[in-house]
Every structure is written in C-alpha cells, then in structure tokens.
Amino acid sequence: MEAGYSGIRDHISDEYFNTFGRSVYATTEERRPGYALGLWGTYWLSPSWDIELGVNFGSWRAHAQAESESYNTFEILTFYSRERYWIQQDLLRIPLQMRLHLGPATNRIRPFIALGAQAAYITRQTNFSRRYFSGTGQEAAEYTYSSTADLNADWVDVRRWQWSILGGIGIQMDRVSLSIQRNWPFTNTYQDSYRLFRYYPDFCSGDFGGNSVGDSFLFCDYRINQLRQTSLRFEYRIF
C-alpha cells in the first residue's frame, strides 16, 4: 500500500536597464501538494535485489507565476503585470522498478536505491489562468480563464498514455519504507527563454482551438504531457 506527497519550487528573476529606466521580470514555478494512493507487489530476486510492480492513482497540481515591473529613470513604477497559471492533472499509473537494498539482509533497517519506469494514463486535466495589468495613465484590468482539456477528441494530438523514468532513494524498516522518488517524462520541451513553456506543455499558438489568454497564451486540448514530480512516498507491506 502506498501514499504520497509531492511538491517543488523554482524562482528566477531578471533585471534589464536602458535609457528609459529599468524592467524586472520574475517567474516562479511550483508543484503544489498532490497525492497518490496505490498497491505494490514485490518479488525478491535475492536478499539484496527485488522487483516492484504497482498500480496507483494520483492527482498532481502545478502553478506558475510571471511578474513584470517597469520603472522610469526616476525609479517610479510605470507598469506592472502579473500572470498566474494552474494545472491539475489526474493520472492512473503503472510503475515498475528494481530496488537494491544495502547492508546484510538480517539488518532491521536497510537503505535502498530504486530505478525503473512507469506508464501513466491521463484521466483528466484542468487549466486555469488569471492575468492582471496596471500602469501609469491606464486603468487596471484583470482577466480569468478556465478550461478542461478534451482528452477524447479525435482530431488533436493527445497522448493520454505517457512514459517516464523513475528513480529514488529510501530506507526500509521491517514492513515500512520511506523514500524520495522522482520521475522524468519522455516529453518534448519548448526551447524558449520564457520558462513557463517548459512546464506548461499544453501551450499553443496560431489558429488552434482553446480558450485564449490575452494575445499570446492559449490553453489547448492537445500536447498534453504528464507533470514532473518529486514525491515523498510512504509504503507499508501488508504481507
């Protein structure tokens, strides 16, 4: 039996100067708390090696925020914008991994290293966006958008089955194990300086369908890829 928690955070800030003043850009990407529940079966190859095959359901959430500030040469704020994006993704996962247990088999407490792969079937994805703008000489404006990806559409390139590599380290204590796990999906990333694209693979442009977010962002129903996660995993062996 398995239960888990997931979360990660990354923040980048850039500052640019010119003859008109300076501009500050900051992006923050986070994995919000999620959960996973499932069952595992273990087969021991030797006292040090075992193979685990599991099935579980998990719900992951991601959040990103981009802030932009512009100042004139007198250090007066002339423009401000804030864009926030959320994604919630539900997955049915089938992980397969091999674990190497360190130390004698008679030890009550044994650390281990795990490596494997998983297939994940995306059952649902919901997108949400909120944008806020204000500046000198103009009224403040705020826009909110939300959509649920159509994962059953025939005409779009939706890959509901996703694959990823698994890795982790942990400790086994009799029937209980505690570990930190990481997955690396096999997905294409956008090679763009705007880092939000890397974490939001449902971004699209042009004349494709979807809910428009301003003039640039479209939350679309294609190019859906599983989110990357770093998880704290608790496991209890029933028998």
Confidence of residue 56 (pLDDT cuts 50, 70, 90): very high
Q: How many CB atoms lie within 10 A of CB 82?
A: 16
Residue 33 pLDDT exceeds 60? yes
Q: Give the per-residue pLDDT at 220.
A: 54
Mean pLDDT is lowest, of 54-68, 106-120, 178-192, for 178-192
Instruction: State pLDDT tens for residues 148-174.
Output: 877 877 666 677 888 999 999 999 998
Per-residue b or e along 163-174, where b marks 16 or more CB atoms closer than 10 Å to that residue's CB:
ebebebebebee
Mean pLDDT is lowest, of 79-88, 122-131, 221-230, for 221-230
The residue segments making up the domain with residue 217 are 2-236
Cα dist. 55→91, 97, 218 in Å? Answer: 11, 12, 33
Contact (Cβ atoms closer than 8 angstroms) between residue 46 and residue 213: no
- How far apart CA 86 and CA 144 sit, in angstroms, is 11
Residue 98 pLDDT exceeds 70? yes
If phi over 0 gives left and psi between -120 and 50 gives alpha, with beta otherwise, what is residue 193? alpha
Cα dist. 223→23, 84, 127, 130, 183 in Å? Answer: 33, 20, 13, 21, 19
Q: How many CB atoms lie within 10 A of CB 191?
A: 7
Q: Is the dihedral of CA 93, 7, 132, 73 positive or negative?
A: negative
Triad 69, 71, 76: Cα angle to 5°: 120
pTM, full prediction: 0.76
Q: Is the dihedral of CA 224, 225, 228, 234 positive or negative?
A: positive
Phi (first) and psi of residue 153, to 5 degrees: -65, 140
The tally of domains found in the chain comes to 1
Mean pLDDT for the chain overall = 81
Name the DSSP class of 46: S
Using CB atoms within 10 Å of the CB of residue 87, give its burial: 0 to 12 exposed, 13 to 18 middle, 19+ buried.
buried
